[in-house]
Structure 1
């Protein structure tokens, strides 16, 4: 007759494909068979964790319920396929053995000995067997880590879920998705917010790799992923990959610098709906910090039809001492309506010297670079004039000399250009139709351009229904 009257079985498998329970079912058949063979009553005390690793102490719900049953005195023996199914790390094994010792519980293994943990010999044997299990796990982990490091060093494609922009194998680019990835990096560099990028993608019906809408977090994760620059991070080091890059390393590093900037607002928040919300400053507070928010004034529903009142900008501080109609202010700043004057932003971008807007005014050597560029332009003019006057000049030699000077001038101009300004303003400055290019920008991009070019402060307007006075908006260009 068996000495055990309150048996329990426990089965666990570390890795299982979705919906695959064959592994734990086989263990269950074997543990139940041993219980029947020994005449140990189970009476529903069966515990099972499928696809749960014990190596790193991850949460195992049924194991915790089993230990709770032991502590309530409901179990006097645990039947497992092998001891390694119960514990696979030292901390958990030590804690579990102490609980079983305290409550006089033994362990029976289908593949292994009977362990009486109330005795020193039983605990010694359990500890030795457990150390063997731990050794096997750690040795396997070392092999896997070495294999992983070798894959990284060889530049092999990472395994795992498909990366948006790449095929399932990760070795080929999906052109349509890759184009969207490039647009995201360009939009971030040009000043767009993550929420704004996600909203623009969703508005166009572009879905992520899972066929779902984009969110602030999915866009952020994508932009921080070094894989798009054909790089791979392993233990803090960056390695080059052998799969095709979608963006350059410089673009990826720029995105990381933007997104990890401590001064950047990290709360997702709602995407902006109006041009000046959170951008224009309150001229009553006039502290250089308090911005305005926007709202619809007088919105109401009549006979089931919604009527929207005028949109307004108002101080977002604790005292709402400023409220102005938004439309004439936005037209003054960036208007493109036919028959009305262009906004100041458009006029700046259409000036003949608009390329100067791309220069990095904070470079300490800007004066020196300007002087070099001026000398190169003068040399080009002198070369052209000399060639025009010399009937015997060698045309091939002239073209070669001009190309060398132009290449040097291009290098100087590139050094003078601010990457952030080029990202935000470059396509506008170079456009043949600035108005059309501006109208094609997303709201986030327009806001970024305004923020880069000027500071807009809304002052108090005239009382009553007085006409809009442009002088009630203070616009100061940023150098």
Structure 2
């Protein structure tokens, strides 16, 4: 007759494809057969963890339930396929042996001995067998790591799930997805938020690699993935890959730098829905408190209630509440028949390109003078060519091209990368007003925050909207 009356089985397999349980099922069949042969009652005490690696230390919920049952006195023997299925490393093994010793629980292995862990000999044998298992796991891990390093050094395409923008094997670019990847990198450097980028993708029904909607975390992971720059990091070293890059290394590093900036707000929160919330300042507070947004209602004769948006002081005392629409129109408006807002007016000026200049460069005056001299030279060359009927057209074009190349180099040196990322595509557009109107909300907010400080003061009751109550202080130019 068997000395065990409260048997339990435990099965675990390290790696399994999604939905594949054949491995643990085979183990379960073998452990159940051993229990039947030894006459050990199992009942419902069957525990199973599928795809729980020894090297990656995944959480094992059924193992924890098994140990809890042991500690409640519900188990006197655990039947496993082999000892390495029960414990994955030295720490788990040491803790497990001590728990089983304290509760008088033995271990039976389909492929291995019976271990009475209440005896010193049983614990010694369990320890020795476990060390052999650990040695094999660690040796396999070392081989895998060496193979991985070799693949990285050779620039081979990473394995694993498909990367958005690439085919399943990672060797070719999917043009439509690659275009979206470039837009994401351009947007983050232009001041867009992660939530804003995700909202834009979802509004256009662009799905992620799994055919699902985007989240801010998914966008963050993509933007920090060096693979898009044709690179791969391994143990702190960056290696060049042999697959096609979608963006440049500089674009990737700039995005990573922005996302890792301690000054950047790490809590995603809800995406901003209104133009100036969190940007404009309250004119009543003396501590720089910004305004938040809200909803209010007005009534006509006590019969009808009309909702309208408001900007309110964010401080504990809500001593400021202003209708949002006229303020938004003053700052950003582009409605036909209405006056242009201050920002589109500024972006449409002939000298709007000056907004891109890095005025903190110590040599900005020298570079500005050189650029002005080159522009004057171009004008002189054009005038001289127009007056000279015998001038050589090809020679004139070559000369103009050389001067323009030098001018472009100087203008590039004068340009602030941050300002160019936020404003460049709008300022250089054929129609800056239309380009501004087409921008998503988070891009507009980033540009406003870069261009000006807005302070909202209390309005004067009964006088309608007074633009003088909105104070604008330029930050650039």
**Structures share fold, TM-score greater than 0.5:** yes
Closer/same/farther in 2, CA of residues 40 and 311 from structure 1, 3 Å limit: closer
Question: Could you tell me which residue of structure 1 aligns to residue 212 of structure 2?
Answer: 212
Give the Cα–Cα distance (whole angstroms) in 1 for the partners of residues 279 and 78 of structure 2: 66
Give the Cα–Cα distance (whole angstroms) in 2 for the partners of residues 68 and 384 of structure 1: 89
Closer/same/farther in 2, CA of residues 58 and 314 from structure 1, 3 Å limit: closer
Closer/same/farther in 2, CA of residues 315 and 395 from structure 1, 3 Å limit: same
Closer/same/farther in 2, CA of residues 460 and 31 from structure 1, 3 Å limit: closer
1:84 is aligned to 2:84:
yes
Question: Could you tell me which residue of structure 2 aligns to residue 290 of structure 1?
Answer: 289
1:414 is aligned to 2:404:
no
Give the Cα–Cα distance (whole angstroms) in 1 for the partners of residues 77 and 242 of structure 2: 55
Question: Could you tell me which residue of structure 2 aligns to residue 475 of structure 1?
Answer: 472
1:138 is aligned to 2:135:
no
**Would you say how many aligned residue pairs link Structure 1 and Structure 2?**
473
Partner of 1:298, secondary structure, is strand
C-alpha contact 2:54 2:137 (8 A) present in aligned 1: no
1:430 is aligned to 2:428:
yes
Give the Cα–Cα distance (whole angstroms) in 2 for the partners of residues 146 and 209 of structure 1: 29
Question: Could you tell me which residue of structure 2 aligns to residue 449 of structure 1?
Answer: 447
In the alignment, structure 2 segments of 5+ residues that lack a partner are none
Give the Cα–Cα distance (whole angstroms) in 1 for the partners of residues 72 and 342 of structure 2: 78
1:31 is aligned to 2:31:
yes
1:46-445 equivalent positions in 2, closer than 5 A: 46-287=46-287, 289-298=288-297, 308-381=306-379, 396-445=394-443
Give the Cα–Cα distance (whole angstroms) in 1 for the partners of residues 397 and 426 of structure 2: 31
Task: Quote the offset at 1:466 in angstroms.
Answer: 0.9
In the alignment, structure 1 segments of 5+ residues that lack a partner are 301-305
C-alpha contact 2:195 2:216 (8 A) present in aligned 1: yes
Give the Cα–Cα distance (whole angstroms) in 2 for the partners of residues 94 and 204 of structure 1: 55
Give the Cα–Cα distance (whole angstroms) in 2 for the partners of residues 271 and 123 of structure 1: 58
Task: Quote the offset at 1:16 in angstroms.
Answer: 1.8
Closer/same/farther in 2, CA of residues 269 and 123 from structure 1, 3 Å limit: closer
C-alpha contact 1:56 1:89 (8 A) present in aligned 2: no
Task: Quote the offset at 1:396 in angstroms.
Answer: 4.7
Give the Cα–Cα distance (whole angstroms) in 2 for the partners of residues 246 and 316 of structure 1: 42
Closer/same/farther in 2, CA of residues 292 and 100 from structure 1, 3 Å limit: closer
Moved more, 134-143 or 89-98: 89-98
- CA RMSD in angstroms, aligned pairs only: 2.5
C-alpha contact 2:356 2:420 (8 A) present in aligned 1: yes
C-alpha contact 2:347 2:433 (8 A) present in aligned 1: no
Task: Quote the offset at 1:3 in angstroms.
Answer: 3.7
C-alpha contact 1:296 1:308 (8 A) present in aligned 2: no
Closer/same/farther in 2, CA of residues 355 and 126 from structure 1, 3 Å limit: same
| CA displacement 1:269-292 (0-9 Å, x = unmatched) | 2222222222211112254x2122
Question: Could you tell me which residue of structure 2 aligns to residue 303 of structure 1?
Answer: none
Closer/same/farther in 2, CA of residues 246 and 103 from structure 1, 3 Å limit: same
| CA displacement 1:166-217 (0-9 Å, x = unmatched) | 2211112222222122112222222122222222222222222222222222
